[in-house]
Homo-oligomer: A and B are copies of this chain.
């Protein structure tokens, strides 16, 4: 295993809240990153052996709404300088999932023991970024108001396959009053690197969701009679695809426990 000399840096005073958050994760913090280092981009993580990384990269290229790449590592290098000062992908996520043959076999708080010289890390945009933009414009977000996880659903929308990577798109759902749903389309359109505009609204059954009260991931939230359920492509999609592909080995973050980067959410707006 290659050893990288980050120790001097990590003992420096962290100037950014995002860097501070990563140092706390490195020191053992293992709870949700929702609400941590507000304003900074958080990311979904997928780590794969080099021999699968090319196909996964192409899968992301073909499916940019669920899998928008905001950063990736060199082969075997746990640093991603473009995403953060002193960032070490092996330690800076609160909790990881180690996958073998499509099953989660371990949920450690670091992956120092699992790191290998052939691994490539992909960091994918996360809905926390666009939720900040929605809240900044006064739109209420049901699962945040109720302090639960966003409800997520496997759909019948097929991702475009690449190598072993194939499967259904996972979506997250937020209910809005119609006027706010229209505004939410406009706001999230500005953020293509964090899932962008919704992929669906209004007819859950049309995308294979039988019961909004029974999400496949996260927690259910009520949708009132005068609201519209609005669905965004979700960064949990790659985890569903990794499970479906029964890959011999992969590492992801644990849902909701994300990588905090030094990028600013507002920097991701294209308009």
Question: Which of these, B181, B226, B271, contacts A201 with CB under 8 Å?
Answer: B181
State in angstroms the CA–CA spacing of A271 and B271 once bound together. 9
A residues near B, CB below 8 A? 178-179, 181-182, 185-186, 189, 197-203, 206, 226, 228, 271
Give the residue of B178, B189, B197, B199 whose beta carbon is less than 8 angstroms from that of A202.
B178
**Contact A182–B198 (Cβ < 8 Å):** yes
Q: Considering the chains assembled together, what is the distance between the CA atoms of A40 and B189 in angstroms?
A: 28
A13 to B203, CA, bound (A): 53
Which residue of B179, B203, B226, B271 contacts A228 across the interface (Cβ within 8 Å)? Answer: B203
Q: How far is the CB of A85 from chain B (nearest CB, A)?
A: 35
Residues of B contacting A186 in the complex (Cβ-Cβ under 8 angstroms)? 185-186, 189, 197
Q: Which residue of chain B lies nearest to A207 when distances are taken between CB atoms in the complex?
A: B178
A200 touches B185 (CB 8 A): no
- Contact B182 A203, beta carbon cutoff 8 Å: no
Closest-CB distance, A271 to chain B (whole angstroms): 7
Inter-chain contact A179/B202, CB cutoff 8 Å: no
A17 to chain B, nearest CB (A): 33
A125 CA to B244 CA in the complex, in Å? Answer: 51
Q: Do residues B226 and A200 form an inter-chain contact, with CB atoms below 8 A?
A: no
Copies of this polypeptide in the complex: 2
Q: Is the interface of A mostly helix, strand, loop or mixed?
A: mixed
A262 to chain B, nearest CB (A): 29
Chain B, residue nearest A201 (CB)? B178
Contact B228 A202 (CB under 8 A): yes
Q: Considering only CB atoms, which chain B residue lies closest to A226 in the complex?
A: B206
Top 3 closest A-B pairs, CB basis?
A185-B185, A202-B228, A178-B200
Residues of B within 8 A of A206 (CB): 178, 226
Q: Give chain B residues whose Cβ lies under 8 Å from the Cβ of A185.
A: 182, 185-186
List 23 A-B residue pairs with CB atoms under 8 Å apart, sorted by A's residue number.
A178-B200, A178-B201, A178-B202, A178-B203, A179-B199, A179-B200, A181-B201, A182-B185, A182-B198, A182-B199, A182-B200, A182-B201, A185-B185, A186-B186, A186-B189, A186-B197, A189-B189, A201-B202, A201-B228, A202-B202, A203-B228, A206-B226, A271-B271
Alpha-carbon gap, A79 to B201, bound state (A)? 46
Contacts of A189 in B (CB 8 A): 186, 189
B199 & A181 in contact (Cβ 8 Å cutoff): no
Q: A181-B201, A271-B271 are in contact. List 17 more A-B contacts (CB 8 A).
A: A178-B206, A179-B200, A181-B202, A182-B197, A182-B198, A182-B199, A182-B200, A182-B201, A185-B185, A186-B186, A186-B189, A186-B197, A201-B201, A201-B202, A201-B228, A202-B228, A203-B228
Residues of B within 8 A of A200 (CB): 178-179, 182
